[in-house]
Amino acid sequence: MLSTTLTIFALGFSNSVLAEDAYVMNFGTVAPDGTPWAEQLKELEQRIEKESNGRIQVNLFMGGSLGSEREMIQDVKRGERLQGGGFSTGAVGAELDVPALEMIELPYLFNNTDEADQVLDTILYSATKDALAEKGVTFYAWTENGWRCFATKGGPATSPEELQKYKMRSQESSVHLDMYKALNVQAIAKPVSEVLPSLNTGIVTGFDNTPLFSIAAGWIQPVTHYTLSRHIYQPAAVMYSKKFIDSLPADLKAVVLKDPKAESQRGRKGVRELESGLISSIGEMGIKVVTLTPEQNKAFRKTVRKPTHAAFLAQNKSVQKLYAKVKSTLKSIRKK
């Protein structure tokens, strides 16, 4: 909860004192400690505390220690227990009813990270900022989870038909659930905290996530195969309670919201530099890393993309124009 205390400074030889407000910002995320996400957040913490001259105290709560993404997103909106957080875009979109953020995680929307960066930075940043402001949240910067791939227990997932053998954990988002529906795969929505025990007990026999998160969360250990499907690009959003931001004086507000573009670049760089090494590490753990052929990748894309995108647009007519703008931009990028 935001707390206000009095910090007293002596002014020269005068007996007068100046009372300044001091603020506490609790920041929550499911990102595990010991990861590039954690390092970035610790750097953010240090910067804010230093540049605010200690007037803002930042407390980081990593690894879902304060609850699921859905719970913490609501906490940030209220601005009481949490004043800031870093969450997957799909989770924020689903929990706060911001379809533009769920749209980002449509399968096979982007072909590569360059496309994703351009669309996120030039089209979706301002749209996201406006949409979240209406929900009582101040959007700050993109960060990155990366490219989600299929992890399975007992065999590979080189085709939609093979994937149908598994009970897949799904993120709690209609886009993710609709993807599995298009694949005719049994999907069970689970919060992050329940995935590992569900894998260990056989409640689910697979999941999809990035190499970094799969390793950091320990999910990779119970599986036998990791298929490099790269079917969803997943960024994350760093955001603050609007109530908290509005309570800050102008100088402290500028500190907290300083240079979001540089913050995004820092987050992306930290994750992307590790990807190839992490994939190698998965193989060294005795897990079979499967690279799809162009034909196998095409089969997944053909099965998933059209029905999942169509279902999303039918359910979210308010973002049809934004979706069309994204597609037009991607078409222009691909012509270059």
The tally of domains found in the chain comes to 1
pLDDT digits (tens, 9 = 90+) for 197-212: 999 999 999 999 999 9
Nearest to 150 by CA among 223, 61, 79, 200: 223
Report residue 11's pLDDT band, with 50, 70 and 90 as the boundaries. Answer: very low
Segment 299-308 mean pLDDT: 98
Give percent of the chain with pLDDT exceeding 70: 94
Note the pLDDT of residue 16: 32
Tokens 């993404």 belong to: 69
Q: Please give the Cα distance from 97 to 70 (Å, whole number).
A: 12
Half-sphere exposure of 173 (CA within 13 A, CB side): 30
Q: Is the pLDDT of residue 14 over 90?
A: no
Q: Which of 11-15, 86-90, 280-284, 326-330 has the weakest average pLDDT?
A: 11-15
The pLDDT of residue 2 is above 50: no
pLDDT surpassing 50 at residue 224? yes
Strands 225-241 and 137-152 turn out to be antiparallel
> What's the rounded mean pLDDT across residues 320-326?
97
The length of the chain, given as a count of residues? 336
Domain at 118, CATH number: 3.40.190.170
User: Are the CB atoms for 219 and 208 separated by under 8 Å?
Assistant: no
Do 27 and 83 touch, CB atoms closer than 8 A? yes
> CA-to-CA distance for 193 and 178, rounded, in angstroms?
22
The separation between CA 208 and the C-alpha centre of its own chain, rounded to angstroms, equals 14
Give residue-wise pLDDT tens across range 145-181: 999 999 999 999 999 999 999 999 999 999 999 999 9
Compute the distance between CA of residue 25 and CA of residue 81 in angstroms, rounded to an integer: 9
pLDDT on residue 1: 41
Model pLDDT, residue 18: 39
What pLDDT shows up at residue 336?
A: 77
- What's the average model confidence in pLDDT over 315-335? 96
Q: What is the mean pLDDT of residues 15-43?
A: 82
* pLDDT tens, residue by residue, 250-292: 999 999 999 999 999 999 999 999 999 999 999 999 999 999 9
State the average pLDDT for the chain: 93
Which residues constitute the domain of residue 16?
5-335
Is 8 a residue whose pLDDT tops 80?
Answer: no
- Rounded CA-CA distance 64/132 in Å is 22
Q: How confident is the model at residue 20 (pLDDT cuts 50, 70, 90)?
A: low
pLDDT digits (tens, 9 = 90+) for 117-134: 999 999 999 999 999 999
pLDDT at 67: 93
> Which tokens is 130 given?
């406006």
